[in-house]
Chains A and B, each alone.
Chain A
Amino acid sequence: MAEKTEATAPPAEVTAPAEGDRAIATREETRYMVPPVDIYETADALTVIVDLPGVQKKDVSIEVDQDILTIKGSVRYEPAGDVLRREFGLLDFFRQFQLSDEVNQEKITAKSDGGVLTITLPKAEKARPHQVRIQIG
């Protein structure tokens, strides 16, 4: 998985606070890993796809509070045997996004499959593109 870099300014709808290193320190004791995401937009919704390998569905938490979407995944991973090579460790995952008022927060849904979390954020009615017919007098 590639290192996340903030190459362009984040879009207005969904922004993330500056994260710096891959493992970030929050006010809590534990250190976290920042999971990579794909985000795309359709006419009806925003979709956020998060890689959370090693996280069981019951250990994923998604919360929305004061326009902030928080995704957390806790991991229990022990490498087997005596370690010969260790390319990855698994810390708990943590990532936050700022939601704009385009999103209907009540209708957010999520599903998890094969270590991938898909979150669908439907847009509020007023944010959907509407056809406007203009009569020419």
Chain B
Amino acid sequence: MNLGEDKDNLYIDALAPGVDPKTLDISILQKQLTLSGEKRETLSSVESSAVHRSERSAGHFSRVIQLPADVVPDRVRASYQDGLLRLTLPKEEAAKPRQIEVRID
């Protein structure tokens, strides 16, 4: 997973080709994000003797990632296209950088 940020949001990108979008689950507790889902099986219905190569991952996956800032779970946006999952997680107001004015007396 790739993690990025700007002053308003955190961004998470994950490679998830062949995942059934109905199985995608994103949950956030404080600063911990758990992403899980089910990758569609293609070889399970095939006899093992008929398999020439089996390099792709399959089945259930789960990743936990520590977020560097508090986010607002209700405003998280997710898109899944062509096997790439992209999350935009708006930061809590308190987590946004504040400009501090320096007064020179």
A-side residues, CB < 8 A to B, are 1-2, 4, 10-11, 13-14, 36-42, 46, 49, 51-57, 77, 79-88, 113-116, 118
| Residues in B neighbouring A57, C-beta threshold 8 A | 82
Q: Which residue from B15, B16, B51, B80 sits with its C-beta under 8 Å from A38?
A: B51
The answer to whether A39 touches B11, judged by C-beta atoms less than 8 angstroms apart, is no
Ranked 5 nearest A-B pairs via Cβ: A115-B83, A81-B4, A115-B17, A53-B83, A36-B55
- Known contacts: A81-B9, A81-B10. The answer to whether A11 contacts B17 by CB under 8 A is no
Kindly state whether residue B1 has any CB partner on chain A within 8 Å. yes
Q: Which residue from B9, B43, B83, B88 sits with its C-beta under 8 Å from A51?
A: B83
Kindly state whether residue B6 has any CB partner on chain A within 8 Å. yes
The answer to whether B52 touches A39, judged by C-beta atoms less than 8 angstroms apart, is yes
Kindly state whether residue B57 has any CB partner on chain A within 8 Å. yes
Q: Which residue from B6, B68, B83, B88 sits with its C-beta under 8 Å from A116?
A: B83
Q: List 17 A-B contacts (CB under 8 A).
A: A1-B55, A36-B57, A38-B53, A39-B52, A41-B51, A51-B18, A52-B17, A54-B15, A54-B84, A80-B13, A81-B6, A83-B2, A113-B18, A114-B19, A114-B40, A114-B83, A115-B82
Q: What's the nearest-Cβ distance from chain A to residue B1, in Å?
A: 6
Closest to B58 in A: A38
- Known contacts: A79-B2, A115-B18, A116-B83. The answer to whether A40 contacts B43 by CB under 8 A is yes
Query: Within the assembled complex, what's the spacing in Å between the Cα atoms of A114 and B23?
Result: 13
The answer to whether B88 touches A80, judged by C-beta atoms less than 8 angstroms apart, is yes
Query: Within the assembled complex, what's the spacing in Å between the Cα atoms of A136 and B54?
Result: 43
Q: Which residue from B6, B54, B82 sits with its C-beta under 8 Å from A55?
A: B82
Closest to A81 in B: B4
